[in-house]
């Protein structure tokens, strides 16, 4: 168990002051809906009535998965390394959206089998991919802790550079299989309720993926902690995101959670320290039917529902302007008194 991530609960007294400030704006109470709760949450995280975003950054963690060799993905394993190169070149969806919305971008190799080039990549490789968890643990306990530390250190570095809002993304062929197994293990569900088409499996492919995962969960059956499940069936990039989320909450950094795989990391982080979710903004509900169930388990209210199933952190960046809007109304909207607007009658 990782004990170094001390996380403070958000201050409810400050929440009341923030709600009071929001309610004095020139609008009917509650009429900005989820934007109001966002403004309140970020104010609590930053411990101020005037929250602001500094140096927003997207960190994408990449790693390969041994389970990919069991044919559970529509894409071959070498796509992980090819996509890392695409990130470096600025050509992926997440790059395009980061440029559009002004987020810095970083790609971290936590366990890619064979990089095409090391240039432009943060090299933090734990191993050349996990083992297939069909009949072995994906990683050792030590490797799991090492990957968690990679994520924590990248967040610590971003904090040193002034970031107070971080989004996390992932790249790893077959990582939806890993996320499904983590979800099944941590929530005690049948894995068939947690598995989806990933990057686009057909019916036959989905059937095969489900059968492989059922066999794997049969092998790993037992009562385990979230961190043990992470080592048994997880990926290095998922473990890195767990560490990143815990470190971000420890440092009072706003966390933007992307899709199904990032939400699986959020689930593990929340079972290690339940307070971590107070620092999370769940950006969207993805096309994977299991993602909706996972968000319900996390008691999360996602901002968007766009049928996304790309990963990379793309959905988190798409939700970012809503976060900006939540803070801009809090800062710039007039109050009833300053605008000379009459309030509603009692």
Q: Flag whether pLDDT at 292 surpasses 50.
A: yes
Q: Is 18 within the bounds of a domain?
A: no
Per-residue pLDDT, 192: 97
Scored b (16 or more CB within 10 A) or e, 53-77 reads beebbbbbbbbbbbbbebebbbbeb
Average pLDDT over residues 180-202: 96
Both tokens of 24, joined, read 């004095």
What percentage of the chain exceeds 90 in pLDDT?
96
* HEC secondary structure over 71-132: CCCCCCCCHHHHHHHHHHHCCCHHHHHHHHHCCEEEEEEEECCCCCCCCCCEECCCCCCCCC
Q: Is 20 within the bounds of a domain?
A: no
User: How does residue 346 score in pLDDT terms, banded at 50, 70 and 90?
Assistant: confident
Please tell me what DSSP assigns to residue 201: -
Q: What mean pLDDT, rounded, does the chain reach? A: 97
Q: Is 345 within the bounds of a domain?
A: no
Helix (H) or strand (E) holding 214: helix 203-219
Q: Is 11 within the bounds of a domain?
A: no
What is the radius of gyration, based on Cα positions, of the chain? 20
Tell me the per-residue pLDDT of 5-58, one tens digit each, with 9 for 90 and over. Answer: 999 999 999 999 999 999 999 999 999 999 999 999 999 999 999 999 999 999
In terms of Cβ atoms closer than 10 Å to its own Cβ (0-12, 13-18, 19+), residue 206 is: middle
Q: Which of 312, 324, 332, 344 is catalytic?
A: 312
Q: Flag whether pLDDT at 301 surpasses 80.
A: yes
Q: Is 50 within the bounds of a domain?
A: no
Report the candidate in 68, 10, 64, 66 with the shortest Cα–Cα distance to residue 40: 10
Per-residue pLDDT, 74: 94
Tell me the per-residue pLDDT of 259-291, one tens digit each, with 9 for 90 and over. Answer: 999 999 999 999 999 999 999 999 999 988 899
How far apart are the C-alpha atoms of 179 and 195, rounded to whole Å?
9
Active-site residue flag, 312? yes
Q: Flag whether pLDDT at 127 surpasses 60.
A: yes
Per-residue pLDDT, 2: 53
Q: Contact at 8 Å (CB) between 65 and 176? A: no
Q: Contact at 8 Å (CB) between 84 and 123? A: no
Per-residue pLDDT, 199: 85
Q: Is 26 within the bounds of a domain?
A: no
Q: Is 346 within the bounds of a domain?
A: no
Average pLDDT over residues 218-234: 98
Per-residue pLDDT, 3: 58
Q: Taking the CA of residue 284 as centre, how many other CA atoms within 13 Å lie in the half-sphere pointing to its CB?
A: 24
Is the pTM higher than 0.95? The answer reads yes
Residue-range definition of the domain harbouring residue 244? 57-320
Q: Is 312 within the bounds of a domain?
A: yes
What percentage of the chain exceeds 70 in pLDDT?
99
Q: Flag whether pLDDT at 1 surpasses 50.
A: no
Q: Flag whether pLDDT at 171 surpasses 60.
A: yes
More confident of the two residues 341 and 2: 341
Q: Contact at 8 Å (CB) between 236 and 63? A: yes
Q: Flag whether pLDDT at 145 surpasses 90.
A: yes
Q: Taking the CA of residue 334 as centre, how many other CA atoms within 13 Å lie in the half-sphere pointing to its CB?
A: 9
**How many domains is the chain built from?**
1
User: How does residue 320 score in pLDDT terms, banded at 50, 70 and 90?
Assistant: very high
Among 73-82, 83-92, 223-232, 335-344, whose mean pLDDT is lowest?
335-344
Report the candidate in 216, 311, 213, 317 with the shortest Cα–Cα distance to residue 264: 311
Helix (H) or strand (E) holding 62: strand 57-63
SS3 251: coil
Helix (H) or strand (E) holding 166: strand 165-171
CATH code of 183's domain: 3.40.50.10210
Beta-ladder partners of 82: none
Scored b (16 or more CB within 10 A) or e, 12-30 reads eebeeebbebbebbebeee
Average pLDDT over residues 306-318: 97
């Amino acid at each position: 168990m990782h004990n170094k991530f001390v996380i403070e609960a958000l201050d409810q007294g400050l929440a009341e002051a923030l709600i009071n400030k929001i309610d004095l704006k020139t609008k009917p109470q509650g009429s900005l809906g989820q934007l109001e709760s966002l403004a309140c949450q970020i104010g609590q995280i930053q411990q101020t009535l005037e929250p602001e975003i500094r140096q927003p950054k997207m960190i994408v963690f990449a790693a390969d998965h041994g389970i990919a060799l069991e044919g559970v993905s529509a894409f071959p394993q070498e796509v992980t390394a090819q996509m890392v190169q695409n990130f470096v070149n600025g050509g992926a969806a997440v790059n395009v959206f980061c440029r559009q919305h002004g987020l810095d971008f970083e790609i971290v190799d936590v366990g890619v089998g064979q990089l095409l080039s090391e240039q432009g990549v943060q090299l933090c490789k734990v191993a050349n991919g996990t083992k297939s968890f069909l009949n072995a643990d994906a990683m050792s306990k030590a490797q799991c802790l090492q990957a968690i530390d990679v994520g924590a250190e990248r967040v610590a570095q971003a904090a040193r550079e002034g970031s107070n809002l971080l989004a996390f993304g992932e790249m790893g062929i077959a990582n939806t299989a890993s996320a499904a197994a983590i979800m099944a293990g941590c929530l005690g569900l049948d894995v068939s309720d947690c598995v989806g088409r990933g990057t686009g499996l057909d019916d036959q492919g989905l059937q095969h993926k489900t059968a492989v995962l059922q066999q794997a969960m049969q092998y790993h059956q037992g009562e385990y902690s979230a961190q043990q499940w992470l080592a048994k069936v997880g990926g290095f990039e998922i473990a890195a995101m767990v560490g990143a989320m815990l470190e971000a909450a420890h440092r009072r950094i706003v966390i933007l959670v992307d899709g199904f795989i990032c939400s699986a990391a959020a689930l593990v982080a929340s079972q290690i320290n339940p307070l971590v979710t107070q620092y999370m903004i769940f950006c969207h509900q993805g096309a994977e039917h299991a993602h909706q169930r996972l968000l319900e388990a996390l008691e999360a209210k996602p901002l968007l529902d766009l049928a996304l199933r790309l990963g990379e952190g793309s959905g988190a960046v798409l939700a970012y302007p809503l976060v900006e809007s939540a803070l801009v109304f809090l800062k710039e909207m007039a109050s009833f008194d300053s605008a000379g607007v009459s309030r509603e009658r009692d």
